[in-house]
Amino acid sequence: MPTYAIIGATGSTGQQILAQLLRSPDNKVKVYCRSRAKLEKLSPKLVAHPNVNVYPGALNDVQLIADCVANSKAIFLVIGANVSYPGMRMVQDGAHSVVAALSTI
């Protein structure tokens, strides 16, 4: 059973990837999100799916992200921001956390 990881599951891209991956009953999906409540509100049926494991937490939690992506066939890094302003670092910081997590595996 292949396992996939999605980092940024509450955005529109992450939501679509999650839905597409779950079309196959063989796929397991591990999803990182900052807010489990937001993910459950957006996709209650997908979050309740038996092949989905949710990893909610801070974007700088390298160990949490490492746990989420470990043993995955592919990792979808789809974090983003709807606004951009000087000093906005969420996407950059998220990318650094994912690279740091991958180096621990």
Q: Is the pLDDT of residue 53 over 90?
A: yes
Does residue 71 come out as left (phi exceeding 0), alpha (psi in the -120 to 50 range) or beta? left
Distance, first Cα to last Cα, the chain: 20
pLDDT tens, position by position, 54-68: 999 998 999 999 999
Q: Is the pTM of this model over 0.85?
A: yes
Q: Mean of the pLDDT values across residues 36-47?
A: 91
Integer Cα distance of 93 and 61 in angstroms = 11
* Arithmetic mean of pLDDT over the chain: 92
CB atoms within 10 A of CB 46: 20
Q: Which of 42, 37, 34, 1 is nearest to 18 (CA)?
A: 42
